[in-house]
């Protein structure tokens, strides 16, 4: 089973069961489908399980669907949300948009419209997840270098691109200096002046950032990640990774999960 969870919240039992049945048939075991009859019950679920997609009625007793979304955000849960309602009310739609709700569906919701909306929500959720992984793996020093790239001279900009394009293999300073048609010594000084890092440290940081993204986003073996990040041995990769990150690649991967 996929680890993504879709939760349906509706106080009308018939609607709730119908939506769940449609999603179970459509998902064919790919996703876990949870249901709740009240916002309170939904919050209890979200306290134990990460909810990736939330499908909630707006008008419910005690707490509305809009209030549920606010409560979940305050508790740190921010699922991609689809709102459903028995009637279209402009003020509800406005508030839903303000809260970042992806779609607003009017009952009765057809199977085709529900599935289309959920598939769109899953694409959105994947996009958010990828952005989160990139943010977590970002090297603050490299971010500063990237911000200053516009001020860098053309040979150094070209060097940045060359390193990025060949990160999966060994790269020497001389190779890159030759690529930008500069003497190695002059290129080394120019690179340090423009990047604020030595060429060697820049390459190491780029390799590790690439490795962190693979550790977070894939299940690839660490030895393969080491190879794809330009390290000849997993042992040396582990050593460098621990020096920079304060933990082994395996521990880093576990920390994200």
For residue 153, give both structure tokens.
């001279």
Domain 138-256 listed as CATH 1.10.10.60: yes
Which pLDDT tens digit goes with each residue over 34-70? 999 999 999 999 999 999 999 999 989 889 999 999 9
pLDDT value for 88: 63
On the CB side of 44, how many CA atoms lie within 13 Å of its CA?
8
Cα separation, 179 vs 100, whole angstroms? 47
For helices 90-98 and 65-74, angle between their N-to-C axes, nearest 10 degrees: 10
Of the two residues 159 and 98, the one the predictor is more confident about is 159
Q: Rounded to whole angstroms, how far apart are CA atoms 253 and 174?
A: 34
pLDDT, position 2: 56
Q: Is the pLDDT of residue 96 over 80?
A: no
pLDDT in tens, 109-152: 999 999 999 999 999 998 888 778 777 777 888 888 877 776 66
Contact criterion met (CB below 8 Å) for 5 and 31: yes
**In CATH, what number does 5-133 get?**
3.40.50.2300
Which pLDDT tens digit goes with each residue over 209-249?
A: 999 989 988 889 999 999 999 999 999 999 999 999 999 99
CA dist list (Å): 215 to 41, 130, 235, 248: 35, 12, 16, 11
Same fold, 5-133 and 138-256: no
Domain ranges of the chain: 5-133, 138-256
């Amino acid at each position: 089973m996929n680890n993504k969870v879709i939760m349906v919240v509706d106080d009308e039992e018939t609607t709730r069961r119908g939506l769940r049945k449609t999603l179970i048939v459509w998902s064919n075991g790919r996703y876990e489908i949870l249901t709740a009859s009240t916002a309170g019950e939904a919050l209890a679920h979200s306290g134990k399980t990460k909810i990736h997609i939330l499908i909630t009625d707006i008008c419910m007793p005690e707490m509305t669907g809009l209030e549920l979304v606010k409560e979940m955000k305050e508790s740190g849960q921010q699922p991609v949300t689809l709102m459903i309602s028995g009637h279209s009310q402009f003020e509800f739609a406005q508030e839903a948009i303000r809260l970042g709700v992806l779609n607003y569906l009017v009952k009765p919701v057809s199977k085709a419209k529900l599935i289309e909306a959920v598939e769109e929500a899953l694409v959105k959720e994947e996009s958010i997840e990828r952005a989160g992984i990139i943010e977590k793996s970002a090297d603050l020093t490299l971010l500063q270098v990237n911000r200053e790239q516009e001020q860098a001279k053309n040979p150094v900009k070209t060097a940045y691109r060359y390193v990025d394009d060949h990160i999966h293999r060994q790269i020497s300073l001389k190779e890159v200096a030759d690529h930008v048609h500069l003497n190695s010594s002059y290129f080394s000084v120019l690179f340090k002046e423009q990047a604020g890092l030595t060429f060697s440290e820049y390459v190491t940081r780029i390799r590790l950032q690439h490795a962190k993204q693979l550790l977070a986003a894939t299940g690839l073996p660490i030895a393969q990640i080491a190879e794809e990040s330009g390290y000849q041995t997993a042992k040396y990769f582990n050593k460098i990774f621990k020096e920079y990150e304060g933990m082994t690649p395996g521990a880093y991967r576990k920390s994200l999960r």
